[in-house]
Amino acid sequence: MAARSLPILEPLPRSTARDSVLEVMARELTRSMDGLQVPGSPKPYFMQYTLRRAHTLRLKAAYGSLVKAREAVQSQIYADVRVGSHKFDNVMDGGLDTRAEERESSDWVDAPDDLDLAALQVSLWKLSQLKFDEAQQDYYDHRKALVSEYLRDEVDAFSRETPLVHREELRHDPFPRAAWEGMLRDLSRRFLQHPEVHDPAITLVAERVHRWLATSEGTRVVTEDTFVELSIGGWILTDDGVYTEASRDLYMRSVEEVPSRATLERLLDDVIVELGELQKAETPGSFIGPALLAGQAASTLFHEALGHRLEGERLVARGETRTFAQKVGQRILPKGLDVFDDPTITRLGDRSVYGSYRVDDQGVPAMRATLVEDGVLKGFLQSRNPTAVSSKSNGHGRHDGVQPPTARMANFVVEPRPGTALTWEQLEAKLVEVAKSQGRRHALIIHRVRAGETQTQAYDFQVFKGEPAEVWLLDVETGKRRRVRDIELIGTPLSALQRIVAFGGDPDLDQGYCYAESGSIPVSGIAPAILLSEVEMQQGSTTGFHEPLLPPPFADDGSHGRTSALRRRGRRRRETR
């Protein structure tokens, strides 16, 4: 087939983009399966190629200037080579310890950005050889482990799945770059009126990903996904020397969802108002007591304390604690709560759901995975790596394009059963009741959490941590509440989940990117508000900073910071406390 060369941003003819790329991948798969053989060593029994072509636009504006404006197209290939058999192959520990970025093959994942077909086949050939060599070495390392260790949780190596043919139309229309640049530049001028805000920015990242996937089993997949992130944020320095952040972050699945200028102006105003509140807020230092978490904050807690521990590979990897491996059929949550992960959910109300997809990164159709029913553990997220619970995938094999796919969350949903949910008002009343029954004067209300992390490895403590973005301290005697800052939510997973005493209210959406062993992937979480009988909070910052010696140039009145308006406002604020 003759090679063709196209400019990076020129669209490929649809028939070639959809058919010829797959034909090249299929042809090289056949060559590799037949030719990658070493006498006396195991042959490939399965191979997969994935090509991702990402068209990405990154914009960042501040102080009326476009400080970043970059647009590019990048193509990248992934190859999975498995030698041996479905019973025993080169993959150990579910692939969690592969560290693909440290191997020689990671230097050969680039594909031609113009999708020149001859160059693409050469790229696949080179990567396949390196992956085969690595697979051979891993296979014998696996055999060696059988001699030196008792692999008590060893299961079959790879699931057998029905080949899938799934093809979507690929679009090539440009992003509305000029309109977005103008809007972001104009909006960011507002920060010139607020010199007290440090490092403000409005950022927009739009990415359209075309994916071609082919396997030696006959699976052929073509998909298109669009991801748009928009963030407005900044920092403020408190009197005790802590830089505190406020932001509004939107995650969308289409260009058409980007809000109007008027909506973004309101979000920017919200950020500025919140920064003012945070500057005046105090930190409790540490806290222990009951807390009410709104849906977005609750979703982050479930993601870190529960979701990662239900990823299938963690049941077989030697370095994992396998928190829930022996608890199928046992109660792990209060009665009335169901948990499932459903990548096919695309919307919650008028908001798109960021973690949705139709086919996972192993060519398996996306499907709902039932995890917890009425508080009782029923199953796990599964890729094509079998576990003792299931030998089949439930469409959750995902990766970043470099690391091997593993079972990961997509749209992680916690849902109350009918008749079990309380209203927000009832939850607040119960929060006061719980605090008083414990003899406590204060309780927390957490509306938003900015980020979270957890540890699941056996060598480390089994803990999780959340970084709250909006926390209120409630005086249960007077009913007064005040904003607090600079604290972190910490806990151990089993203990935290057992402290849920009530739940309900409208579900809320938590979105973003989740990083684990198979890389950074888009995810969503949907959860109701939850009431915890006890949470522990720790001080967030340990370092204090002084104010800049000079104000920003646009706010300098000529006094070089000694009597500038910014410093006079700060002095008045402190004197009136």
Q: Is the pLDDT of residue 145 over 80?
A: yes
Q: Do the bridges between strand 500-516 and strand 519-539 make them parallel or antiparallel, or are there none, so unpaired?
A: antiparallel
Beta strands, E only, 357-493 = 369-373, 376-377, 397-398, 406-407, 411-416, 442-454, 464-475, 481-484, 487-491
What is the pLDDT averaged over residues 226-245?
Answer: 95
Q: Is the pLDDT of residue 561 over 80?
A: no
For position 378, what pLDDT does the model report?
98
Q: CA dist 141 to 147, 177, 318, Å?
A: 10, 50, 14
Q: Is the pLDDT of residue 18 over 70?
A: no
Task: State how far the Cα of 272 lies from the Cα of 277, in Å rounded to an integer.
Answer: 9
Q: Which tens digits make up the pLDDT trace of 412-424?
A: 999 999 999 999 9
Vertex 109: Cα angle to 107 and 110 (nearest 5): 100
Written as one string, the DSSP assignment of 230-263 is EEEEEEEE-TTS-EEEEEEEEEESSGGGSPPHHH
Q: Which of 17-26, 89-98, 117-126, 541-550 has the highest mean pLDDT?
A: 117-126
Q: Tokens standing for 32? A: 């590799």
**In the structure, what pLDDT confidence band is assigned to residue 457 with cuts at 50, 70 and 90?**
confident
For position 12, what pLDDT does the model report?
40
For position 68, what pLDDT does the model report?
97
- The average confidence (pLDDT) of the chain is 91
**In the structure, what pLDDT confidence band is assigned to residue 560 with cuts at 50, 70 and 90?**
low
Q: Which tens digits make up the pLDDT trace of 314-323?
A: 999 888 888 8
Q: Is the pLDDT of residue 372 over 60?
A: yes
For position 566, what pLDDT does the model report?
42
Task: State how far the Cα of 370 lies from the Cα of 377, in Å rounded to an integer.
Answer: 9
Q: Do the bridges between strand 481-484 and strand 369-373 make them parallel or antiparallel, or are there none, so unpaired?
A: unpaired
For position 394, what pLDDT does the model report?
98
Q: Give the lowest-confidence range in 8-22, 155-169, 285-299, 368-382.
A: 8-22
For position 559, what pLDDT does the model report?
64
What is the pLDDT averaged over residues 169-184?
Answer: 97
Written as one string, the DSSP assignment of 454-495 is E--BTTS---EEEEEEEEEEEETTT--EEEE-SEEEEE-HHH
Bridge partners, 54 (sequence order): 74, 209
What share of the chain has pLDDT > 70, as a percent?
A: 93
Q: Give domain limits for the chain.
A: 14-225, 287-539, 549-577
Question: Which CATH number, 3.30.450, 3.40.140, 3.40.1350, 3.30.2290, labels domain 14-225?
Answer: 3.30.2290
Task: State how far the Cα of 103 lies from the Cα of 95, in Å rounded to an integer.
Answer: 14
What is the pLDDT averaged over residues 208-234?
Answer: 98
Q: Is the pLDDT of residue 234 over 50?
A: yes
CA terminus-to-terminus distance, the chain:
77
Higher pLDDT, 398 or 462: 398
Tell me if residue 92 falls in helix, strand or coil.
Answer: coil
